Amino acid sequence: MVEENRVVLYGMWASPFVKRVELALKIKAIPFEYVEEDFQNKRTELLKFNPVYKKVPVLVHNGRPICESVAIFEYIEEVWNNNDPSLLPQHPYKRAQIRFWADFVQNQFDGLLLSMKTEGEAQEKAITDVKVKLKVVEEQGLKSLLVEGSPFVNGDELGYLDIGMLTVLGRYKIYEEFFGMKIVEEEEIPIVFSWLNRLIEHPIAKEGAAPKEKVMRLLHIVRQRFLQSPAAA
């Protein structure tokens, strides 16, 4: 018999997509059980709940699985719509704006991933591309989305876009140290810089942040694997 209102999140600590779901659950004060997955030895339950992609995150609510972070996020917002705060604006146009910019921000993860796979000029170009897109977020997005007096795009609490930015670049200081290059420059993108650092200092974000040493170890392992793969040759 399935326990009523039981929520289980299958994830992996380093995944920004998992972290997005985890933050949404915590912000809306939804009790859940977290199951850490080992990619080298995936659980039978994960393969059963996500037989198509066989990856995390997977949210299981009352025995029913929901896969892919965007779908999970919207499911959380719709099912627990009485749990404050709302993670998306009520107005359809504003919702569409937030979704657009959240998708744009999420694409920065692809740029960071590319910088893990490359060296020299190619790596510098990948980082530069991320910085150029952050400038677009600064000038075309945040200037209209951030309300004066509110710390976050969602107001006084994190919302969809805030969480998206936090999960992609919340570890930017570690990434800068790892790559030996600046990514988020205050003088170039002061609004993004201030917003991002407010996100990092959020109590829930700080509580769930992985230790720097753990992140650095993973980055070295992942980069070594990328550079040693035949595709990098």
* pLDDT tens column, 134-162: 999 999 999 889 888 899 999 999 999 99
- Predicted local confidence at residue 149, as pLDDT: 84
- Predicted local confidence at residue 103, as pLDDT: 94
Largest distance between two CA atoms of the chain: 57
99-141 confidence digits (pLDDT tens): 999 999 988 888 888 898 888 999 999 999 999 999 999 999 9
User: 233: pLDDT confidence band, cut at 50, 70 and 90?
Assistant: very low
pLDDT at 98 over 90: yes
Spatial separation of the C-alpha atoms in residues 186 and 98, rounded to whole Å: 23
- Predicted local confidence at residue 158, as pLDDT: 96
**Paired sense of beta strands 7-11 and 58-61, if any:** antiparallel
- Predicted local confidence at residue 164, as pLDDT: 96
Chain-centre distance for alpha carbon 92: 23
DSSP designation for 55: -
